Amino acid sequence: MTRHRRTAGMILVTALVFGAVLTTMAVALVNYTALNAKVTRASVAEAQALALAEAGIDKAVYELNQNGSYTGESNTPLGAGVVTITVTNIDANSKRISATASVPNSTSPRAQASVHATASINTSVVAFHFGVQVGEGGVSMGNGAEIIGNIFSNGSISGSGTVTGDATVAAGTAGSPDQSWTTENGTVGLGDVAARASVAQSFRPSTSSTLNKIQLYVRKVGNPNDITIRVMADDAGRPSGTVLVTAVIPSSHVADDLSFAEAALESLIQVQADQTYWLVASLPVSSTSHYEWAVDTLAGYSRGEAAASAVWDDPDAWSAVQGDLNFKIFLAGNQTSLSQTTVEGNAWAQQLSNCTIHGDATFQSATTNCTVSGTKYPNATSSPPGLMPISEAHIRQWEEDAEAGGVHAGDFTISNNGSATLGPRKITGKLTVSNGATLTLTGPVWVTGDISFSNTSHLQTSASLGNRAAILIADAPGEESSKGKVTLTNGMQVSGNGNPGSYPMILTTNTSGSAISLGNNAEGIILYATAGTVQISNNAQARQITAHRLQMSNNSQVVYESGLSNSNFSGGPGGSWAIVPGTYAITP
């Protein structure tokens, strides 16, 4: 009996112990669950607060682009909480944005987060990487002409002048396309939906040569990324996925309406006559920021076809596109050369003759009577043609900005030490500034006639532009061969406003052999002739020149300034507020 009672007692004690343990575990589990739920709610609230703060930054940028004087707002309901935004000025072109979000409110918040970023005017950035950059027309130098800096030319360089930096002459390009299709009755989206992340057009060259230039007839929607072009061989009627060469069309070089945009090739490749190749254009997908590629839905091009794919490197993923896409491809033209010129740096050209190179010389064919102080690198692959820094898209946007500021009908003249301030403005006639007069630019000015500065006249950029530059354009659409000439003579001077990068530029679309004339001790900052010749003579001096062709004589100089490598122009493509990359900062 005693033994039985002892056993029962032990069982009761054991049960009580297990019960206590289970009760403790249950309480602990309940507490853990409650704590976990609280932590989860806090984590959700923190994530919501961060997302709302980031949305506040986006909202501030949107508001700035609607109203440049926007300074912020307080406790604005947004999503699951409220957000407070402050905008403070850094300088004329930059603002500091702070956005603080509270969930569910700012009085008793479960979570808060702050995001800070710097926004700046996303002006049109034009990169002048060379003292002189010239198209297929090439460069002629004589009588003590000097380029203090580097030069890149798509055409030959000749004459007895001196280049103090490096000189590069690209491979010669044919004047007309070997293959093209320009019939257009519609467009195909590029990057607007996943199925068209890549769009391609095939072609068959008529002759074996190098592929020197690619152009696509496109327009942009929104603010898309650059277009990546991959040239591929054919695989049973579809792109093979094997990349022969890559090229890029910068977004800033594409207009809002259809126009041909040129791609910058990484290198030259050999293509064979009557073999099929593909131009594969790719872009990250966005319904609001993409491109439209002009198409002939009747498929009139007999030497190729179009296709689209979500995956550019899978030949089996491509599907046919109804029609043929608009494009141009250019093959090699006449061989280019560098002759008679002295280059104090390194030189690259297809052919070198009667020249003096103080550095290394890289060339394709043998040199002729050319002295090279450095190392010779024969049988080298030629450089592809360089992409000109300003596109038709830039010019169109600048002209739209100018016209939006008002139109002056007829000629505009300033003389006899007078002064005027213009921009943005369009002048439907000639612009003449003479006899000590000064023109100050506060924005883009578009002149449909000729431009003349003479007799110690002065062109300058307004201090109100800060470190942005301004542009003076001579463009007479449809009359480019006879109108839009620029003459800068007799001590005419050009200057910025004292801030880095505030250089004015004079640009013309005139196609003649005297599109811009700079002479008689005149000084210019940036001169640009899209399709014509720039002539500088008689001790004239410029800071940078870009032209289809350049003629230098009589001790003229181009003195390159490093600050021109990235010049920001008021107006132009992308002239809006945008976040500066790398300035995001998150605080709890």
pLDDT digits (tens, 9 = 90+) for 371-380: 999 999 999 9
Q: Is 571 left (phi over 0), alpha (psi -120 to 50) or beta?
A: left
Residue 239: pLDDT band with limits 50, 70, 90: very high
**Closest alpha carbon to 301 in 181, 185, 176:** 181
- What average pLDDT does range 96-124 have in this prediction? 86
Lowest mean pLDDT, pick from 300-314, 416-430, 512-526:
512-526
State both tokens at 423: 């921009």
State both tokens at 464: 């109100």
- Cβ(153)–Cβ(181) under 8 Å? no
SS3 for 229-292, per residue?
EEEEEEECCEEEEEEEEEEEECHHHCCCCCEEEECEECCCEEECCCCCEEEEEECCCCCCCEEE
Higher pLDDT: 45 or 209? It is: 209
- What is the tens place of the pLDDT at every residue in 446-484? 999 999 999 999 999 999 888 788 899 999 999 999 999
Rounded distance between C-alpha atoms, residue 380 and residue 532, angstroms: 31
SS3 state at 176? coil
State both tokens at 23: 């009760």
- What is the tens place of the pLDDT at every residue in 187-201? 999 999 999 999 999
Residue 96 carries which side chain, given as an amino acid letter? Answer: R
Higher pLDDT: 561 or 235? It is: 235
- What is the tens place of the pLDDT at every residue in 3-24? 455 555 566 666 666 666 666 6
pLDDT of residue 575: 47
Rounded distance between C-alpha atoms, residue 494 and residue 304, angstroms: 51
pLDDT of residue 69: 72
Q: What is the topology classification, in CATH, of domain 179-331?
A: Jelly Rolls (2.60.120)
Higher pLDDT: 585 or 233? It is: 233
- What average pLDDT does range 159-176 have in this prediction? 95
- What is the tens place of the pLDDT at every residue in 329-370? 999 999 999 999 999 999 999 999 999 999 999 998 877 899
Higher pLDDT: 13 or 432? It is: 432
For 491-569, where are the E strands, in sequence order?
Answer: 493-495, 505-508, 516-518, 523-536, 541-552, 557-559, 567-569
Upper half-sphere CA count for residue 172 (Cβ side, 13 Å): 15
- Cβ(83)–Cβ(95) under 8 Å? no
Q: How far is CA 317 from CA 188, 235, 244, 312, 324, in A?
A: 18, 12, 19, 8, 19
- What average pLDDT does range 254-276 have in this prediction? 95
Percent of the chain with pLDDT over 90: 67
Residue 205: pLDDT band with limits 50, 70, 90: very high
pLDDT of residue 18: 66
pLDDT of residue 23: 67
Name the most confidently modeled range: 11-15, 442-446, 538-542. 442-446
**Does residue 393 surpass a pLDDT of 50?**
yes
pLDDT of residue 570: 55
Q: Note the Cα 454 to chain centre separation in Å.
A: 34
Residue 148: pLDDT band with limits 50, 70, 90: very high
Higher pLDDT: 306 or 31? It is: 306
Residue 500 carries which side chain, given as an amino acid letter? Answer: P
**Closest alpha carbon to 503 in 588, 562, 575:** 562
* Model pTM score: 0.76
Q: Quickly tell me which residue has 């909202």 as its tokens.
A: 59
**Does residue 426 surpass a pLDDT of 90?**
yes
Mean pLDDT in the chain?
88
Residues 6+ apart with CB under 8 A from 460: 438, 439, 440, 441, 494, 495, 496, 497, 504
**Does residue 318 surpass a pLDDT of 90?**
yes
**Does residue 109 surpass a pLDDT of 80?**
yes
- What average pLDDT does range 62-91 have in this prediction? 84
Q: Is 214 left (phi over 0), alpha (psi -120 to 50) or beta?
A: beta
State both tokens at 20: 């206590």
pLDDT of residue 567: 61
Q: Where are the domains of the chain?
A: 2-123+577-587, 179-331, 390-569
Residue 37: pLDDT band with limits 50, 70, 90: very low
